Structure 1
Amino acid sequence: MSKFLSRYAAAMDRASVFIGHACSALFFACIAFSALEVVMRYGFDHPTSWSIELTMALCAMAWVLSVGYVTERNRHISITMLELMVGPRVWHWFRLMQILAAIVTVSVFAMAVWDPALRVFSRPEYSGTALNSIQPSLLKVLILVGAILYVLQLLANLVRWVQGTEKASTHGH
């Protein structure tokens, strides 16, 4: 069983890193679309009706989908002063409480967004802007996907905690 869990954790780590790196391309696309909007607006006095909405959607997608990567790297915002004050032994147990609390919280969140995310498949929602994209529908589904990826990566981190194989970079930011 331990070997299976180790393989799960390693596979989830690889998937989270792959998705995180893929999401970085979305941020570069946001930069390109923002630059295009600046040129069109101030260079040609002909702003686009779609670039701001598209940029917001791409940034939101990248942010939501890269949560597994951030969790795998343990790069969430944290209170490092507390880590320094309590010492490594106590912090080790705090880390377990952090992982368990996050699993419960994000699981409840995923259950809360489950119905709204599935409902958009039968009745899509549109932005109501000039572009009138399906951005609200897409983001509802991606929030659910991001929550699931987050829980799966937290479970991988829990496996690593139990096995004592957490990466050294997770201690001391």
Structure 2
Amino acid sequence: MTKEAEIIAAVEDGDAEIRTGFDRVIAGSSNILAWAIFAAFVITVVEVIARYVFDSPTFWAHESTTFLIAATFLIGGPIALARDKHIRVRMFYDAVTPARRRLLDIVNSVIALVFFAGLAYAGWIMVGKSWFSPIGELRLEGTGTSWNPPTPALLKMLVLVAVGVMFVQTLLHLIAAIRRDVSSPSTTAGEK
């Protein structure tokens, strides 16, 4: 009966798979970021009413909603990593012993760190080109429309920030995997 209660408690606890304090902060931010989706919805409703009821379409609605949804999508990477909801081949992961899971976690973290480092380097180059002119003056890249907001430059910076956050998260996960004690027979995939 105790095992069933533990399973039910783990299922009901939405933060059961969050591994570090940094992950807890990132996962908690999703409640705030969810308002960006709501804002995009409101902007879309305003645009539809302005366009079809008042025959006066806006020039900013499309770019604003595109920016909000793209920004939310980019932040989804660190949130998925924080909640341990990223892609993993569970068929192999669940079939091995806790010691091998630990090894898989270490290998996965090292590969992810290399990937994030390369992506951060590419992001740094993108940000440099979108934030500065060739002579080094601050000039945010715009969309090129009549409104011309600097959303491309802001999104490229957000890519760099999101990748940097995921690099730090993965580094913390690597440290936790290295330190994890797998000698206890009660260690399972969900207990990290």
Please, what TM-score do these two structures have when normalized by structure 1?
A: 0.78
AA paired with 1:133?
P
Higher relative contact order (CA 8 A, sep 6+): 1
Where in structure 1 are there 5+ consecutive unaligned residues? 1-8
Partner of 2:144: 128
Indicate the larger mover: 153-162 or 77-86: 77-86
Larger CA Rg, structure 1 vs 2 = 2
Whether 1:34 aligns to 2:62 is no
CA distance in 2 between counterparts of 1:86 and 1:169 reads 10
How many Å separate the matches in 2 of 1:87 and 1:25? 41
TM-score (normalised: structure 2): 0.71
Aligned-residue RMSD, C-alpha: 2.7
- Hey, what's the Cα distance between the residues in 2 that align with 1:79 and 1:32? 38
Determine if the alignment matches structure 1 residue 46 to structure 2 residue 62.
Answer: no
Secondary structure of 2:67 counterpart? helix
Q: How many residues align?
A: 162
The 3 A distance-change label for structure 1 pair 53 and 115 is same
Task: Indicate how the Cα distance of structure 1 residues 36 and 133 shifts in structure 2: closer, same or farther if over 3 A, else same.
Answer: same
Of all paired residues, the percent bearing the same amino acid is 27
Q: Are the aligned partners of 1:74 and 1:170 in contact in 2 as well (CA < 8 Å)?
A: no
Alignment-mate amino acid for residue 57 of structure 2: P
Which residue matches 1:138? Answer: 154
- 1-structure distance, mates of 2:91, 2:127: 38
Match of 2:106 among 92, 96, 99: 96
Trace 1:1-173 onto structure 2 (pairs within 5 A).
10-86=20-96, 89-119=99-129, 120-121=131-132, 122-164=138-180, 171=190
